[in-house]
Structure 1
Amino acid sequence: MEEARLRRAGMPLADIRLVLAGWAGTDKDLVRGLLQAHLRRLELGLSDARSEFSALGALLGHRETDPMTSLHSATARLSVPAVEMAAAMDAVRFAAGSDAELPMLGGILFDIVDEGLHLVATDRYRMAVAQACTTGHDGPRTQVVVRLPLADAMRALLTEEEPAQLTVDGDRVTLETGDRQTAGRSLGHEFPDYRRLVQLPAGRRARVDTAAFRQALETGPVRTGDTREQNGEPYDLSVLRVTENGTVIVCDDGDDDQNDVAVNREFLLDALTAGSRDELILELGTPTAPLAIRRPDDESAFSLLMPVRLED
């Protein structure tokens, strides 16, 4: 029912997925932020859409208190190989949000589970996930959203071969490497449950030579005749297709197929860079399912790009 209301209100597919994930996890701040942000973008004459969002807001008020709160008040101290953590941060940093209306996305999620540190970033239109091994943590699962300035300061320290020490104490996060240290407070907002967002149906997989595919995107055709903006900025749209021989091509404008997947070209180029491999795997599902960019040798690190609905 919630998804049907959001579609009738004209909400983009990227926002709908995050609303549903936040709804399922009772992530009220994220859901309210997304609803309010979309309402501000709607024209004053869209009275039907305003009615739908009003109904959702009333329903949201009856949800129970978030059961995940304890994840963000725990204490953890662990050791992480500096090289692994640096690579993981490089793999996700590009996808972090910068929308002031959605502050909960303006950082990188550090999700400490067993002997792994999962890093996640999303700006609604794309998501990146990576992982580093850890030692020394035998406590409960702990989550903290690290502000981007602090995350960048942490990354600058990860230049040595020796392990880094990561400490989470409530809302304070500290990283130590040798005799250097950086610390700060985490974001006081709930991050969407990324585990729900990455559960995708199997799609068509194609291995691409990263350099050659990048050149095809940079020099190939873009969708013309449509006025498109993301966060108030215009962008180029690339339309992708998996051919019968398993290769991925960039389609000419007007040469449409029902299985074509359209994405923000700049975002796809960023994802190729973050993939940091000579070859990558593209996984394309339906035209409304996210495009996945995976590493052939390490599928724990991957990016998801929300598709853009093509004009009829």
Structure 2
Amino acid sequence: MRSIGEMARSSGLSVSALRFYDGAGVLVPARVDPVNGYRWYGPEQFEEARLLARLRRAGMPLADLRLVLAGWSSTDTELVRRLLQTHLNRLERDLSDARRELSTVRALLDHKESPMTSPRTATARFTVAACEMAAALDAVRFAASTDPDLPMLGGVLLDIEGGSLHAVATDRYRMAVARARGTGDGAPRAQIIVPSPLADAMRALLSDRGSVQLTVEGNHVALEAGARQAAGQCLDHDFPDYRRLVRLPAGARALVDVPALREAVETGPVRIAEARGPSGVSPRLSVLKVGGDGTVAVCADDDDSDSVAVNRDFLLHALAAGARDQLILEFGAPTAPMAIRRTDTEDTFSILMPVRLDA
């Protein structure tokens, strides 16, 4: 007999998915302990669980899953074959529909594009304290993408408008935003994407003293710190509108002691995501929950609807980038992004996308 945890690890289904399929009557445990409710699975159910995991990844509807498993052990496999072919035909129709809709969206995008001057082709000069510029880069650099298929995310966006500079980075799974105050030259808003290597070179010039000048001329950017300079070409892409992406639903807020939470995350229980992350490896997850007393706990499972699962390494990076002993964790719905905010400003924060454990 296998416990539900052992079955999850060996079958590719999460514990929550196994519980769901038990409740739906698709894969019912061979035995449930009447005292503690623990589920136990028989040896013959391992093959069924592996089959269920494959069909689940293929997106087969629940009603069909139930029939496939019911007919799997039968000598007459005609029904199973017909269900598989029906689902494949459905996927092909859906793909055709998706291609048609995306083609329409591309056409709309072609009409939307305008030859007018955009913020990323503007010219601007911005003077800022070196320590503020350094803090802004430190707060966001960790979130820059390394995915070669998304070159527009492979750097740090510098958004200059008036007396403010926003630094932004995202790899789709997380986003970091930081604001630095300085003095602009009155030019219109300018946006540039500084490639990650150039952003690192800029950071190396920054000390805790004095001010630096950032100069943008079209697709060229230069940071001058005294007699030293870091300059180069910007990425020739448009960055997504981060202002839309940071509008999060209201939720619970918890003030956390960063060293204590970091230790809890590093030593606490870890779940393995079913889906692979940006590196091609299934990421390790930490399940967080805000208690009634406002404390944040690292949970062993996601039984509670208020718990949120996030990439463990991404969370540790965000806590380190916050550079404070205390930070605010902001939770919305389990499917909404989680924000990590500083206590002294609302302008510098990180966002982590939640991971569905039953996906």
1:103 to 2:151 alignment: yes
Over the residues paired in the alignment, what is the CA RMSD in angstroms?
2.0
| Aligned twin of 1:3 | none
SS in structure 2 at match of 1:109: strand
The runs of 5 or more residues in structure 2 that have no matched partner are 1-57, 60-87
SS class of match (2:112): coil
Deviation at 1:45, TM superposition (A): 9.7
SS of structure 1 residue aligned to 2:306 = coil
Please name the residue that 1:57 is paired with: 102
Is 1:93 aligned to residue 138 of structure 2? no
Q: Where does 1:153-302 land on structure 2 (aligned, <5 Å)? A: 153-224=201-272, 226-231=273-278, 232-253=280-301, 256-302=303-349
1:47 to 92, 100, 118: 92
Find the aligned partners of 2:165 and 2:309 in 1 and give their Cα distance: 32
Give % identity.
58
Q: CA deviation at 1:78?
A: 1.5
Where 1:230 maps in the other structure, the secondary structure is coil
Match of 2:187 among 123, 136, 139: 139
Q: Secondary structure at the match of 1:134?
A: strand
CA distance in 2, matches of 1:257, 1:82: 45
* Superposed CA offset, 1:32-90 (max 9, x none): xxxxxxxxxxx999535532430232122123333585111110012110000000000
| CA distance 1:107–1:49, change in 2 (3 Å) | farther
- Aligned equivalent of 2:64: none
Alignment pair present for 1:308 and 2:355: yes
Q: Which amino acid letter does the alignment assign opposite residue 47 of structure 1?
A: E
Per-residue CA deviation, residues 253-308 of structure 1 (Å, 9 max, x unaligned), is: 3x511121110000000000000000000000001100000001122100000000
The alignment of Structure 1 onto Structure 2 pairs a total of residues equal to 270
Q: Matched residues in 1 for 2:94 and 2:309: separation?
A: 26
Q: Which moved more, 1:152-161 or 1:47-56?
A: 47-56
C-alpha distance in structure 2 between counterparts of 1:49 and 1:243, whole Å: 42
Relative to 1, partners in 2 of residues 1:126 and 1:49: Cα closer, same or farther, differing over 3 Å? farther
- 1:240 alignment partner, SS class: strand
Change over 3 Å in CA distance of 1:49–1:221 after alignment to 2: farther
Following superposition, the deviation at residue 168 of structure 1 comes to 0.1
**What is the CA distance between 1:228 and its match in structure 2?**
3.6
Q: Does 1 or 2 have the higher relative contact order (CA < 8 Å, sep 6+)? A: 1
Once residues 178 and 91 of structure 2 are traced to their aligned partners in structure 1, the CA distance between those partners, rounded to angstroms, is: 40
Per-residue deviation, residues 162-185 of structure 1 (Å, max 9, x unmatched): 110100000000000000011100
2:254 and 2:185 mapped to 1: Cα distance?
38
Task: Give the superposition deviation at 1:245.
Answer: 1.1
- Structure 1 letter corresponding to 2:252: R
State TM-score, norm by structure 1: 0.82
Residues 270 and 69 (structure 1), Cα distance of their counterparts in 2 relative to 1, 3 Å cut: farther
Partner amino acid for 2:297?
A: I
Match of 1:28 in 2: none
Distance 1:112 1:211, change over 3 A: same
Paired with 2:139 and 2:91, the residues of 1 have a C-alpha distance of: 39
Counterpart AA for 1:261: V
Q: Report the AA paired with residue 167 of structure 2.
A: L
Supply the distance in 1 between the matched residues of 2:303 and 2:123 (Cα, whole angstroms). 53
- Work out which of the two has the higher radius of gyration on C-alpha atoms and give 1 or 2: 2
Q: Note the C-alpha offset of 1:151.
A: 0.5
Aligned partners of 1:44, 1:108: CA distance in 2, in Å?
43
CA distance in 2, matches of 1:289, 1:160: 37
Show structure 1 runs of 5+ residues with no match. 1-8, 11-42
Q: 2:124 aligns with which of 65, 70, 76?
A: 76
Matched-pair contact (CA < 8 Å) for 2:195–2:234: yes
Q: Distance in 2 between matches of 1:48 and 1:177?
A: 58
For 1:93 and 1:183, locate their aligned partners in 2 and report how far apart those are by CA, in whole Å.
18
The answer (yes or no) to whether the contact 2:169–2:177 under 8 Å persists in 1 is yes
Q: Report the Cα offset of residue 202 of structure 1.
A: 1.2
Q: TM-score, normalised by structure 2?
A: 0.72
Q: 8 Å contact 2:288–2:307 — kept in the other structure?
A: yes
